[in-house]
Amino acid sequence: MLDLKELPSSMVDDLKAGYDFLRRAENRLQMMRDQQTQTLPTDETDRARLSLAMGYPTWTAFLDVLNEHRQRIHRHFGAVLQTSRDEVPDNDPLSRLWHKDLSGESAIEALRQAGFSAPETTLNVLRDWQDDLRAHITDTVQQRLDLLIPKLLHQVADTDARAETLRAIFELISAVLSRSVYLALLIEQPQALKQLVQLCAASPWIADLLRQQPILLDELIDAQSLYLQPSADELRAELAGFLARFPDDEERQFDELRRFRQLAVLRVAAADVMGILPVMRVSDQLTWIAEVVLETVVWRAYQQLVERHGEPQATKPDGTRYTPGFAVIAYGKFGGIELGYGSDLDLVFLHDSTDTDALTLGAKAIDNQVFFARLTQKIIHILSIRTPAGVLYEVDTRLRPDGASGLIVSSLHGFAQYQNEHAWLWETQALCRARFITGSPAIADRFAETRLACLGKSRDAAALRSAVLAMREKMRREHEHTKPDEFHLKMGLGGITDIEFIVQYLLLRHANLHPRITAHTDNIRQLRALSQDGLLDERLSEALVTAYQNLRNATHRRTLHQEPLITACAEFVEERTAVIRAWNQVFEVSA
């Protein structure tokens, strides 16, 4: 079926994995009592035996994986074998249009009567696509398109009636013509077709994601599941289920990591464009997804290197042996719990091996420094390598000590020394949003101490003010390229970056006497902490919170619409006014 392209490779993999799981469960079930049975046991002891025989610590864990396989098989069965119950009548005008029984003015009138806002443009989109199809489709595909396209035309007409939406969906359909099961899914699952049109109408970014990864079309069948937003723990369990399907195939696990992330981000984007999630929840969910992926990648990369070289070992000055730890620190949007769609990950990697002569314990022992460097490189490779399922995340490591010229992974001692003695102002500002993500709890505690010590240094207020203003002016010259009547949501005067600079300046100025204002790494809670400690007027703080939320929400919207972050100056006047007023007050600038 795979060679004939009747089923997509992802469906074949699901069915093979499901068959293997069910067959193994059946064999182990029958071996327990030497009986021909397919009924799951009710006895607690038998349940425990079956779970352990299948490699799961509890009956609940076994059932979770079993149910995942059953649900996938059921979805694929429905997509392939169901018969259509909702055919479009042969005399329907849009059906006649698709079959070219209507042309010219009659075709345009049919589209106008259906509700299309630009019937001439819509007709051109339809006919151009039909002409491009002629030489590329089989009779089977043509038959399925004859069933699908009239339904699609009606659904687009009922949703937003725009030619652009139709064009986006045609591009997606063109991408899956060789995998006709997806056409069958859209024919036989009206809910999936409805969700597809609504999401593509709301967001070209989502349309592109579905076109690049059509396996996600399966998720459109169940609207309740599509808009569900799992907690971080639920995401961890879900990812574990994805990876459990191919326990011994590293390449397939790379793809499963990517498919998990794409599915999870699709859920967020779908709920976002439908107005279900507020901006703070959008960033929370996107950040949790990245955290769960990173935790898993770090753990697996570490295990693979330990299998090859053994665990790092070191000796303290007092002669005590210990296993050095490793940790990943997030900066920027990731550190600030403010990820957007397509954000890269600003990461710094740390270890706490202080014994420069220490080696790992394996048969192929290597220097600890080499071990942690290879571990870091492997993590970055897993995250950023492009596979058929795409890229997990682009990784930016330029915020490490000494930037691009520095070591890819730093010792915790070296990191602390650099931050205290050599860091530039912008590096200290970046530390305001830095937080531990995964790895050694001991490093997490020591990193928190280092961060607090660096942010809490006593600083001359006038010198700090001048340096921050100079840094912001330099950024504006280098990065803001807008016309006089345009406003850049992030870099423009009164934009997101100005709010961030206000927060960072106040943190660096006051953290020495008010350490608790550094407790959080996101701008919203930092602004409120400044207000609570009397360092920023409460009304001004809340005005900045509102402006920040609105501007960030606009960046999400524009990303999903694949639009630049530049708007007309007439937009966001209230937000910009509030930010500029706060800027002038905080930095004592004359208006």
Evaluate if residue 78 carries a pLDDT over 70.
no
Contact assessment for residue 150 and residue 137, using Cβ atoms and an 8 Å cutoff:
no
Q: Do 441 and 359 share a structural domain? A: yes
Task: Write out the residue range of the structural domain in which residue 191 sits.
Answer: 93-202
Residue 532 burial (10 A CB sphere; 0-12, 13-18, 19+): middle
On whether both 19 and 58 belong to a single domain, the answer is: yes
Please write the tens of the pLDDT for every residue from 304-334. Answer: 999 999 999 998 888 889 999 999 999 999 9
The answer to whether position 145 is within a domain reads: yes
Domain check: are 569 and 434 in the same one?
no
Domain assignment present for residue 63? The answer is: yes
Are residues 410 and 480 part of one domain? Answer: no
How many alpha carbons fall within 13 Å on the CB side of residue 367? 7
Cα–Cα distance between 290 and 233 in angstroms, integer? 13
CA-CA distance, 223 to 234, in Å (whole number)? 19
Domain annotation covers residue 521: yes
**59 lies in the same domain as 134:** no
Q: Tell me what percent of the residues of the chain surpass a pLDDT of 70.
A: 94
Q: What pLDDT is recorded for position 8?
A: 67
State the average pLDDT over residues 474-481.
84
Give me the chain's average pLDDT, please: 90
331 and 451 in a single domain? The answer is: yes
Residue 425 lies in a domain: yes
Mean pLDDT on 390-412: 92
Hey, is 464 helix, strand or coil? helix
What span, in angstroms and rounded, lies between the C-alpha atoms of 286 and 552? 14
In this structure, what are the phi and psi dihedrals at residue 568, rounded to the nearest 5 degrees?
-75, 150
Among residues of the chain, what percentage have pLDDT more than 90? 69
Residue 86 belongs to some domain of the structure: no
The secondary structure element, H or E, covering residue 326 is strand 326-331
pLDDT band at residue 80 using 50, 70 and 90 as cut-offs: low
Residue 32 has pLDDT above 80, yes or no: no
pLDDT in the model for residue 2: 47
Q: How far apart are CA 346 and CA 241, in angstroms?
A: 28
Q: Examine the domain organization and report whether 110 and 159 are in the same domain.
A: yes
Rounded distance between C-alpha atoms, residue 493 and residue 480, angstroms: 9
The pLDDT, as a whole number, for residue 85 is 40
Q: Report how far residue 581's alpha carbon sits from residue 494's, in angstroms, rounded to the nearest whole number.
A: 9
Structural element, H or E, at residue 225: helix 223-226
Per-residue pLDDT, averaged over 344-348, amounts to 97
Average pLDDT in the 67-73 region?
A: 80
Cβ–Cβ < 8 Å for 466, 496: no
3-state SS, one letter per residue, for 534-560: CCCCHHHHHHHHHHHHHHHHHHHHHHH
**Is the separation of the CB atoms in 521 and 433 below 8 Å?**
yes
Burial environment of residue 146 by CB neighbours within 10 A (0 to 12, 13 to 18, 19 or more): middle
- Residue predicted with more confidence, 401 or 405: 401
The structure's pTM equals: 0.83
Number of domains, the chain: 4
Domain edge (last residue) among 455, 482, 505: 455
Maximum alpha-carbon separation in the chain: 91
Same domain as 189, residue 173: yes
Distance (Å, whole) CA 69 – CA 65: 6
CATH number assigned to the domain comprising residue 413: 3.30.460.10
Do 343 and 397 meet the contact criterion of CB atoms below 8 Å apart?
A: no
Confidence at residue 90, expressed as pLDDT on a 0 to 100 scale: 62
Whether residue 228 lies inside any domain: the answer is no
Are 43 and 100 found together in one domain?
A: no
Provide the CB-side half-sphere exposure for 287 (13 A, CA): 21
- 394 and 433, same domain (yes or no): yes
Are 292 and 410 within one domain?
yes
Question: In the structure, what pLDDT confidence band is assigned to residue 382 with cuts at 50, 70 and 90?
Answer: very high
Mean local confidence (pLDDT), 557-572: 94
560 CB-near residues (< 8 Å, 6+ apart): 202, 203, 204, 205, 206, 269, 272, 273, 341
CATH number of the CATH domain containing 171:
1.20.120.1510
Contacts of 456 (CB under 8 A, 6+ apart): 511, 512, 515, 518
Given 455, 487, 509, which residue is the final one in a domain? 455
Domain termination residue (choose one: 202, 225, 247):
202
Q: Is residue 492 part of a domain?
A: yes
Q: Could you tell me the CATH number of the domain that includes residue 575?
A: 1.20.120.330
Of 253, 251, 231, 232, the closest CA to residue 242 belongs to 253
pLDDT digits 0-9 by tens, 242-297? 999 888 888 889 999 999 999 999 999 999 999 888 878 999 999 999 999 999 99
Dihedrals phi, psi of 8, to nearest 5 degrees: -70, 155
Residue 89 has pLDDT above 90, yes or no: no
Q: Decide if 121 is inside a domain.
A: yes
pLDDT tens across 113-127, in order?
999 989 999 999 999
Model confidence band, residue 84 (pLDDT cutoffs 50, 70, 90): very low
Contact 455, 511 (CB under 8 A): yes
Q: What is the mean pLDDT of residues 74-102?
A: 71
Q: Over the stretch 194-227, which tens digit does the pLDDT of each residue have?
A: 999 999 999 999 999 999 999 999 999 888 889 9
Residue 33 pLDDT > 80: no
Is 513's pLDDT higher than 80? Answer: yes
pLDDT number for residue 437 = 98
The secondary structure of 34-81 as a DSSP string is T----PPP-SHHHHHHHHHHTT-SSHHHHHHHHHHHHHHHHHHHHHHH
